């Protein structure tokens, strides 16, 4: 990670991350911990959360896990209360739980479509709503993890396009509603990020991955650490006048449209 943040930047602060044991989200969590934050990790499996918390503590950080499915508001509410009881009021919430798979709309089941909407869209709302009472103070920050599909229509991604577009509108709406309370709400939009389950599903061969990378203005996949850096910036005082923003970290993928993605996804659904 670039040495662009001062040590202790988040000392004394509590950051809660949904999907916190997952690929990109775990890197985000670990980086917040390295810069002093106490971590509350939320995910479906307690054993994975415990393992992630152990890794963070090995690096000298502070972390705990509380199991909940973001689709289950009552469970999520209980998890937030558990974390608040042990770590105190929240300063940062990262809504990172997500689901995706390539599928043509004409062949996708209603259950499959609903599953992604429930994880991405309902899960983001549930996370923000359950955390609200623990976040309700000036200086708090919410960062929702979005996707290029929110603004770039892509074949074989109707469920994600719909869900993430909703996430970005939740970001803007909460920024309006919660701004007077001093809570900032922004979205981070990761593009193609290397070594993630999502990109492995969408570009399952090295040829497909290379074709997509070459179509990007920066001609490479992003790194998980680069998403972590942007998330940390938006949570920090350096961004204290930024709210309601949807910020790409995508190597320019939103600029070139869906053509390269469509070619890759077409191969993935054959």
Query: Considering the chain, what percentage of its residues have pLDDT values greater than 90?
Result: 78
Q: Which residue has the higher pLDDT, 34 or 6?
A: 34
pLDDT-derived band at 261, boundaries 50, 70, 90:
low
User: What confidence score (pLDDT) does residue 145 get?
Assistant: 97
Name the CA radius of gyration of the chain, rounded.
Answer: 18
pLDDT at 1: 42
Percent of the chain with pLDDT over 70: 94
More confident site: 254 or 228: 228
Band the pLDDT of 203: cuts 50, 70, 90.
confident
Residues serving a catalytic function are 146, 164
pLDDT tens string 241-257 = 999 999 999 999 888 87
Digit-coded pLDDT (tens) for 166-199: 999 999 999 999 999 999 999 999 999 998 887 8
Interacting residues of 106 by C-beta distance below 8 A, sequence separation 6+: none
Question: Which stretch, 47-51, 208-212, 265-269, has highest mean pLDDT?
Answer: 47-51
* Average pLDDT, integer, range 103-129: 97
167 in Cβ contact with 186 (< 8 Å): no
Task: Residue 198: name the closest of 91, 119, 84 by CA.
Answer: 119
Q: How confident is the model at residue 206 (pLDDT cuts 50, 70, 90)?
A: confident
User: Residue 267: pLDDT band by 50, 70, 90 thresholds?
Assistant: low
Pair type for strands 62-67 and 92-95:
unpaired
How much is the average pLDDT of 149-156? 92
Residue 205: predicted pLDDT: 84
Say how many C-beta atoms besides its own lie within 10 A of residue 117's C-beta. Answer: 18
Going by the DSSP 8-state scheme, the letter that residue 243 receives in this structure is -
Tell me, what's the pLDDT at 269?
57
Q: What's the mean pLDDT when you consider all of the chain?
A: 92
User: Which of 140-144, 230-234, 237-241, 257-261 is predicted with the least confidence, judged by mean pLDDT?
Assistant: 257-261
Distance CA 249, CA 252 (A): 8
**Residues 250/149, Cβ–Cβ less than 8 Å:** no
Torsion over CA: 56, 61, 67, 70 (sign) = negative
- Provide the pLDDT for residue 4: 63
The residues spanned by each domain of the chain are: 14-196+223-251
Is 14-196+223-251 in CATH node 3.40.50.720?
yes
Quickly state the pLDDT bin for 265 (edges 50, 70, 90).
Answer: low
């Amino acid at each position: 990670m670039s040495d662009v943040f001062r040590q202790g930047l988040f000392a004394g602060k509590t950051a809660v991350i949904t999907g916190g044991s997952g690929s990109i989200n775990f890197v985000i969590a670990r980086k917040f911990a390295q810069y002093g934050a106490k971590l509350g990790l939320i995910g479906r499996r307690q054993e994975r959360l415990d393992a992630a918390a152990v890794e963070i503590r090995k690096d000298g950080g502070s972390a705990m896990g509380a199991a909940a499915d973001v689709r289950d508001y009552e469970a999520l509410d209980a998890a937030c209360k558990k974390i608040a009881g042990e770590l105190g009021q929240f300063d940062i919430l990262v809504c990172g739980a997500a689901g995706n798979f390539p599928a043509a709309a004409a062949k996708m089941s209603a259950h499959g479509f609903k599953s992604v909407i429930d994880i991405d869209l309902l899960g983001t709302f549930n996370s923000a709503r359950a955390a609200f009472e623990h976040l309700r103070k000036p200086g708090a920050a919410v960062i929702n993890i979005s996707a290029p599909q929110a603004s770039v229509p892509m074949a074989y991604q109707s469920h994600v396009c719909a869900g993430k577009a909703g996430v970005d509108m939740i970001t803007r709406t909460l920024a309006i509603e919660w701004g007077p309370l001093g809570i900032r709400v922004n979205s981070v939009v990761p593009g193609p990020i290397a070594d993630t389950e999502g990109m492995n599903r969408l570009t399952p061969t090295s040829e497909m991955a290379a074709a997509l990378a070459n179509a990007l203005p920066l001609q490479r996949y992003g790194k998980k650490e680069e998403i972590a850096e942007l998330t940390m910036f938006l949570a920090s005082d350096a961004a204290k006048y930024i709210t309601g923003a949807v910020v790409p970290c995508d190597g320019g993928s939103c600029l070139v449209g869906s053509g390269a993605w469509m070619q890759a996804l077409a191969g993935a659904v054959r």
